Structure 1
Amino acid sequence: METRERGPAVAERTAALARAAFRAGDRYPGLPPADGSAETAGDVLAELARGTRIWTGFDRHGEAVGCVRAVPGADGAWAVRRLAVAPRARGRSVGRLLMRALEDGARAAGAARVVLDAVVERGNPPFYCRLGYRTTAHFPGPDKPLSEVRMEKDLATPDGELSYPWGGEPFPLWDGPLRVWFCGPRGTVALPAVPGPRPEAAVAALAGRAAWQVGAGARFRGADGLACPGGVLVDPRPAEAVPAFVMPRGVDGGALALWRTGG
């Protein structure tokens, strides 16, 4: 439900949900703290004063279990801000329901699109892709050595789930060298590639070589865009323990994490 109140109690509840959600830990260890992990009620009040709208979800006991914010734009696009789900409520579709409520509110207000920025290394883009959001740009994080994507949903199209990453990015938005990551029984390997017109074909062509390096059943785990061609990187550890996989910009300032999949 949309939260119409604008007072300190709503601001504190929203900030507390954000802190709990963003402090709960990332998919990959060692990333910089998320901005929402230190949010205050004053931060939320300042957003509300600028016209930000809030949707809050409650459980059957009346306890707040999640919230999401949106900033209406003059160009017909609403920008998502800080989807937060309480750790105890994860896995119950709270985030999906909150996003649907936000989209319904945007449609009712005459918005044409919903846009958002998501951090690749935190594993966020696949969730939004499943809600029908398409990637329209890759870019370096402005204040941390992380990689972000701009994602967008046309509110005039029917809701539908897109496969990640190819369904949400059918044409490559990066035309430079790639470093493609695979994991297998013997560790992790990164192999060089060029995206070509079909990035999934470039990845599939490397599967046999990856299996030779790290064992049968090698799984695609993601890819980075590079400023210049790179070589093969083999590591006996799982991907989550390889710094260049966890946070490529922290190792090479010219790298950008384009895609990350689950284990």
Structure 2
Amino acid sequence: MTMISIHSLAPGELDAHAEALAGIMAQTVNDGAAIGFTHPFSEADALAFFTGQVFPEVRAGRRKLLTAKRDGETVGTVQLIIALPPNQPHRCEVAKMMVSPKARRQGIGRALMQALDVEARAAGKTLITLDTRTGDKAEPLYRAAGFRTAGVIPGFALNPDGAALHATTYMYKNL
């Protein structure tokens, strides 16, 4: 039986997970995920993102970084930005939801989203927001996790291949 476990990384655990996280990000971006990057995108690019931008935020307590393991192998990750402007102490934001292409459709994304709810509640948050490429395969996952559409912005960002702009759907969930 396949075992899925979700873990919120503590600051002292980050470096040990850096390569696995970079691998997942490179696979995901190169598979076409619209998570803020364009092609070409390498594991070195992903490693620089995690070590230069994400890890300092986790160490400062402004962001949570969750990993998903399937049978002991890291196959997914998601971030929860908990430090927002002073007028939004009740809100947090989902960022960089990724499941390795080889591990999709196995409940890993759902497990990560459920764990995010727990993290958000533990941080005293009552509203979670996110944005996703309109029509993306992740959109039904977010709806199934209880997120509702707030609106759509056309021409929001480039697709990873840089060939065209895509719309972005903003979503929210009250806890």
Unmatched tracts of structure 2, length 5 or more: 1-6, 159-164
Runs of 4+ in 1 over 3 A off after TM superposition: 5-9
Once residues 17 and 38 of structure 2 are traced to their aligned partners in structure 1, the CA distance between those partners, rounded to angstroms, is 16
8 A Cα contact 1:137 1:151, kept in partner: yes
Once residues 9 and 42 of structure 1 are traced to their aligned partners in structure 2, the CA distance between those partners, rounded to angstroms, is 15
Instruction: Quote the sequence identity (%).
Output: 26
1:21 Cα deviation after fit: 2.2
Question: Which of 136, 143, 148 in structure 2 is aligned with 1:134?
Answer: 148
1:9 Cα deviation after fit: 3.4
Distance of aligned partners of 1:36 and 1:103 in 2 relative to their CA distance in 1, 3 Å threshold: farther
**TM-score, L = length of structure 2:** 0.75
Question: Which of 97, 108, 131 in structure 1 is aligned with 2:122?
Answer: 108
Deviations 1:49-82 (A, max 9, x none): 133211101122x110111111113412111111
Is 1:4 the equivalent of 2:10? Answer: yes
Aligned residue number for residue 77 of structure 2: 67
Any idea what SS the aligned residue of 2:136 has?
Answer: coil
Map 1:166-181 to 2 at 5 A.
none
Question: Which of 128, 146, 150 in structure 1 is aligned with 2:170?
Answer: 150
**TM-score, L = length of structure 1:** 0.51
Larger proportion of strand: 2
Larger proportion of helix: 2
Distance of aligned partners of 1:23 and 1:9 in 2 relative to their CA distance in 1, 3 Å threshold: same
Question: Which of 50, 53, 68 in structure 2 is aligned with 1:44?
Answer: 50
Amino acid at match of 1:153: K
Aligned residue number for residue 233 of structure 1: none
Structure showing greater relative contact order (alpha-carbon pairs closer than 8 Å, 6 or more residues apart): 2
Structure with bigger gyration radius: 1
